[in-house]
Amino acid sequence: MTDPGESGPIGTGPVEPADGEGESAGAASGSGSAAAAGDPETPADVAALADRIAGEVEEVIVGKRDAVEHVLVTVLARGHLLVEDVPGVGKTTLAKSVARSIDGSFKRVQFTPDLLPSDVTGVNVFNRRTDEFDFQPGPVFANVVLGDEINRAPPKTQSALLEAMEENQVTTDGTTRDLPDPFCVIATQNDVEPGQTYELPVAEVDRFTKKIRLGYPDTDEETAILGRLAGDHPIDSVEPVATVADVRRARAIVGEIEASEAVREYVARLAVFTRRNAELGASPRGSLALIRASQARAALDGRGYVIPDDVQAEAPTVLSHRVRTASGGTDGAAVVDDALDRVRVE
């Protein structure tokens, strides 16, 4: 199937143009550091690849190693990331720098109350010269898609991402088109102005592998940020240290990392605990996301197998946003923490 990602976004959507040329540019340019490293073949190679990417991203994202690792785990686990935080803490810079570091395409969608689903996925436009409809791809056709303030758009528009996030494809007017590979949505939501936002549908929340907060920098970190912004924008200094082909291979290796029956049962019992102790517990999709994230976490350590520590490290950011308490709360962090304290590995 033809990938229309290189055709660019529709002309009217509030979209930031692609940054970089995606895989074709990566293959052609073959940046020195990426080319010299070779294709990843083992978990240790994946760890080295992730370390190169993290090091490049940290040139512009100061003091946020944990956040960078969350993004890398999400990408390696074939997932999507939800970032809930106040404006101005570096969410866009984080997403854009990750895309540049893997020589991938990047597009940004500013979600607003008047945004239409077709502004995200694309639209068929009548071509008078050919008397046919031509598909104009939306911004979802990129390796890394930043959905900025996703909760400012109504649920119908938010739901335009459901098929893309679950199946890596988009269907418009009965025609299904594949999205670029890799494909990762990094969505942000603003929790400061609840009266001016829409709650994300449960089905969409469940499709995000992880949910994190960046938080404010401390004094030293902010001082360093101010120094780096004195000249050109720091994102311009980010260089490709890998290719999208490297990421695809790394994902395949992560998928082969062993999760023993004991680990799988541990994950299942954690999920069951949340269901018994909350109005809405973690879904089987959440359990699968936790296994994949744990495999990615193991890969970051260069291991070919998952240990309980990987599960425990990933569970809070993978499961908490899927759990709703009986009091109507949407953050199940306390329930997940309780599960980690009370459910033992057998």
Burial profile 139-149: b = 16 or more Cβ within 10 angstroms, e = fewer: bbbbbbbbbbb
DSSP 248: H
As a whole number of Å, the CA-based R_g of the chain is: 20
Average pLDDT value for residue range 262-277: 96
The pLDDT, as a whole number, for residue 7 is 36
pTM as predicted = 0.84
Asked whether the beta carbons of 43 and 257 are under 8 A apart, the reply is yes
Ordered structural domains, the chain, with CATH: 4-251 (3.40.50.300), 258-342 (1.10.8.80)
Q: Is the pLDDT of residue 133 over 70?
A: yes
Q: For the chain, what is the mean pLDDT? A: 86
Q: Are 253 and 299 in contact (CB under 8 A)?
A: yes
Other Cβ atoms closer than 10 A to 105 = 27
* Ranges 4-13, 90-99, 252-261: which has the least confidence: 4-13
Lowest mean pLDDT among 159-163, 194-198, 213-217: 194-198
Q: What is the largest CA-CA distance in the chain?
A: 68
Q: Can you tell me whether residue 222 is helix, strand or coil?
A: helix
Cβ atoms of 251 and 292 within 8 Å: the answer is no
| pLDDT score recorded for residue 231 | 65
| DSSP state letter for 214 | -
Of 331, 281, 291, 334, the closest CA to residue 314 belongs to 291
CA 311 – CA 39 distance, rounded (Å)? 27
Handedness of CA 62, 308, 84, 101 (dihedral sign): positive
Q: What is the pLDDT of residues 287-335, one digit of tens each?
A: 999 999 999 999 999 999 999 999 999 999 999 999 988 765 556 899 9
> Between residues 5 and 137, which one has the greater pLDDT?
137
User: What pLDDT, on a 0 to 100 scale, did the predictor assign at position 328?
Assistant: 58
